[in-house]
Amino acid sequence: MIDAGFPEEIEDVRAAWQAGRTQEALDLVPSGLIDKIGLVGTAEEVRAKLADYRDAGITLPIVSPRFMGDGAKEQALEIIRACAPA
């Protein structure tokens, strides 16, 4: 979080996490951080962000969607396919 430009928020997130207040810690993560380091949005938006990464010289971006439960594998594969370059 510090390297991504969110040094002030890290202590509150860390304190909540270490105290076992998982949901509070998750709620404290700034949406700007998620947007900055994650691939979030529609498939079109994610493809555009991946294209920006490729244009910046990243030749093998790794897409690793997180799903749990029934159908998790199928959901992950659907997301990966949707984010592939056209």
Tens-place pLDDT, residues 6-44: 888 899 999 999 999 999 999 999 988 888 888 888 778
Helices 72-83 and 43-55 sit at what angle, rounded to 10 degrees? Answer: 60
| Predicted local confidence at residue 56, as pLDDT | 94
| Predicted local confidence at residue 15, as pLDDT | 95
Phi, psi of 4 (to 5 degrees): -85, -5
- Based on the structure, what is the number of domains in the chain? 2
46 & 72 share domain: yes
64 & 81 share domain: yes
51 & 83 share domain: yes
* pTM of the complete model: 0.60
- Tell me the pLDDT tens digit for each residue of 38-79: 888 877 888 888 889 889 999 888 877 777 788 888 888 888
SS3 48: helix
Residue 6 and residue 54: Cα distance in Å, rounded? 25
84 & 55 share domain: yes
Give the domain range for residue 53.
Answer: 41-86
Residue 46 and residue 1: Cα distance in Å, rounded? 21
31 & 65 share domain: no
